[in-house]
Chains A and B, each alone.
Chain A
Amino acid sequence: MATVTYDNASRIYPGSNIAAVDSLNLDVADGEFLVLVGPSGSGKSTALRMLAGLEEVNSGNIFIGERNVTDVPPKDRDIAMVFQNYALYPHMTVAENMGFALRIAGVPKEERNQRVREAAKMLDLEPYLDRKPKALSGGQRQRVAMGRAIVRSPQVFLMDEPLSNLDAKLRVQTRTQIASLTRRLGVTTVYVTHDQTEALTMGDRIAVLKDGVLQQVGTPRELYADPKNVFVAGFIGSPAMNLFTADVTEGGVKFGTAVIPVERDTLGSATQVTIGVRPEDVVVSLTESTGLKVEVDLVEELGADGYLYGHSEVDGKRTDIVARVDGRIHPNAGDTVYITPKTGHVHVFSVETGERLGGAVVD
């Protein structure tokens, strides 16, 4: 068990002058499950591979516990990694795959078999120990990759999008299995994904990256309720938050024909701000009222809930709007509705910097 610390760690790929990971500062607590999330090209995998030692650190340092591992070769870092494509050794059986690290470490055969069996039991892999990877299903392969990491009892688990090759249903199941397993083992885990739902459901804390720069670190709740900037606001949450530019007016910010009260201190001298409202934080009215006038394009029914997709004219520009509606009673495509945000559920961001203005939304 150990903490992990990125101290101003940067990675610049040869032949490029833009940092893939730019001065990353991040502390992962002992036993914590930290998720690195971001769109493709955000540097999340690079950051993970830097911790693994598979990618060079061009400046800054990385610590595991008290130990500076920046220049330590991967094999001596005592970390286990689950790869996106699992990277199981195709010529070895499941048992050999899981026991390979112990074999290299010179662990006696008896103990090795014992530990492989224990891990296999935890992962329901016992019946498959003598099979080769090609004779396993995708989900089983994924579990073998997990097993290979667990058997080692490493200081840190690294997982690089381990669920992306599973089908949707299995992904949801495995998600909870991995989260509960790593917590039971109490091993510090750094987990990379591009899927914000995975991040929200699995992480103790989430670090959001964009273009190699850390945007925000926090618990799922913090990121959801108090996104530090427009990027995090738009990235976390599905469907994404409605974000558009609005004029500052007497007593607040214009939202269609309505005025949302925002304190003058929050707004400063800005004449325009970006406001964000989550789809579940709007009130939809079919009768003409104050608020934003929205033409309904489509309503997606998801059983209990539904999502209304529409568009509106904001500031002379067509703006797409998503709102959560009741799954059974809802407007239909072609209708005109009027939406207003629920009180205290508006996020305000600076137009120039994209940074948050004011505090978190209340729940």
Chain B
Amino acid sequence: MALSIPPTPLRGRRARPGVVRSVGVVLLLVWTLLPVLWALDLSLQTGAQAASKPAHYLPPTPQLANYARLLFGDGDIAESVRQSSVNIVIECVAATVVTVVLATLAAYAFARMTFRGRNALFYLALATMAFPAYTTLIPLYRIMTGLGLVNTYTGIVLVYVSGFLPLATWILHSYLSSLPISLEEAGTMDGANRMQVLWHVVLPLALPGVVSTALITFLSAWGQFLFPLVLSTDMSTEPLTVMISSLLGRHTVPVNLLSAAGMLAIAVPAVLALFLNRYIVNGLLAGSVK
């Protein structure tokens, strides 16, 4: 039997919320992206153009000279930018690797092994996330001084790892808990020990979760400012983020060059977020929808 479906005035009804939403999205984008676009605009201008009043909303003669100067040129500023870029990459990669390895082992133990005080320990580790990080700044600095780790990669990486480990463990814990346990039992029956089960069975299945955790950790490490500001005392360990901010204090640094340095600092997380955003969402949602 043919049913005649009455035409529903969907279009007319949907149009209004659509407009409101679009306007909202545009406002939000302007709000968040305008400073970035402004910096991008400045970074593509010459010194004279950047200093002109009224300002140029688009670079009159777009050029990459500022970037070239920072990346390949001579001079104090360029060298500082290059050295601090190396620093930030080393610190973030090392912190990410160490955090992910430790978090995976910890999360697996918390998810699958039974031992006295397991839950108490797990929630205690998570509870540290509730403390504002800054409250630990001074004690950490004292500890690092005592250990002779101030202004070393090791010191900064250790602090990052201690800061990111709870969140990483939590994300991986919810991910590992959601995997079917019978696969691990099958691995055990096939003669594999715990580490072999973890390596051959669990990790390949948990890879999306591991990637998420690594990304989130890396991006958090990249965005650090206060801790490295305190813990690095010179160019040998200072990350790009801290270095750029210190440039602000020097009157001699042209604003277009400074903008280019800022764009360099944004580039890495922006690219990661653009291409791997599904893993970020995946990681942050782990265990919440199941």
Contact = CB atoms under 8 A, between A and B. Distances in A.
Contacts of B189: 52, 54, 74-75, 79-81
A92 to B, nearest CB: 8
B183 A87 contact: yes
Interface in A88-103: 88-91, 100-101
Nearest to A54: B185
A315 to B, nearest CB: 48
Interface in B176-205: 180, 182-183, 185-193, 196, 200-201, 204-205
A148 B180 contact: no
A89 B193 contact: no
B66 to A, nearest CB: 47
B196 A87 contact: no
Contacts of A105: 191
B188 A89 contact: no
Given A75-B193, A104-B191, A83 B201 contact: no
A174 interface: no
Contacts of B185: 52, 54, 74, 81, 83, 87
A89 B201 contact: yes
B182 A101 contact: no
Interface string A38-71: 0000000000000011100000000000000000
A101 B191 contact: yes
Given A83-B182, A87-B182, A75 B188 contact: yes
A75 B191 contact: yes
A170 B205 CA distance: 30
A103 to B, nearest CB: 8
Contacts of B186: 81, 83, 87-89, 148
Please classify the interface of chain B as helix (H, G, I), strand (E, B), loop, or mixed, using the class held by over half of its residues. helix
A85 interface: yes
Nearest to B192: A104
Interface string A113-143: 0000000000000000000000000000000
Contacts of A104: 190-192, 196, 200
Contacts of B204: 89, 91
Interface string B156-189: 0000000000000000000000001011011111
| Size bracket, chain A contacts | 20 to 34
A57 to B, nearest CB: 16
Contact of B183 (A52, A53, A89): A89
Nearest to A158: B189
A74 B188 contact: yes
A52 to B, nearest CB: 6
Contacts of A83: 182, 185-186
Interface string B90-109: 00000000000000000000
B205 A91 contact: yes
A222 B177 CA distance: 45
A173 to B, nearest CB: 24
A80 B186 CA distance: 9
Nearest to A78: B191
A327 to B, nearest CB: 39
A83 B187 CA distance: 12
A148 B190 contact: yes
Contact of B205 (A73, A80, A90): A90
Nearest to A90: B205
Contacts of B188: 53-54, 73-75
A233 B35 CA distance: 81
Contacts of A73: 188
A42 B189 CA distance: 24
A90 B196 CA distance: 16
A79 B200 CA distance: 20
Interface in A237-269: none
Nearest to B185: A54
Contacts of B187: 89, 100
Nearest to A105: B191
Interface centre among B180, B191, B205 (most CB of A within 10 A): B191
Contacts of A74: 185, 188-189
Contacts of A85: 180, 182
A52 B189 CA distance: 8
Contacts of A75: 188-193
A116 to B, nearest CB: 13
Interface in A152-191: 152
A74 B186 CA distance: 10
Interface in B201-227: 201, 204-205
A101 B190 contact: yes
Interface in A308-346: none
A202 to B, nearest CB: 21
A153 B186 CA distance: 16
A157 to B, nearest CB: 11
A53 B191 CA distance: 12
A88 B189 CA distance: 12
Nearest to A154: B189
B182 A100 contact: no
A79 B193 CA distance: 15
Interface centre among B182, B186, B193, B201 (most CB of A within 10 A): B186
Given A83-B182, A87-B180, A87-B186, A100 B193 contact: no
Given A74-B185, A104-B196, 17 more contacts: A52-B189, A73-B188, A74-B188, A74-B189, A75-B188, A75-B191, A75-B192, A85-B180, A87-B185, A89-B183, A91-B204, A101-B190, A104-B191, A104-B200, A105-B191, A148-B186, A152-B190
Interface of A: 52-54, 73-76, 79-81, 83-85, 87-91, 100-101, 104-105, 148, 152
> Top 3 closest A-B pairs, CB basis?
A101-B190, A87-B186, A87-B182
8 contacts: A54-B189, A75-B188, A80-B189, A80-B190, A104-B190, A104-B192, A148-B186, A148-B190
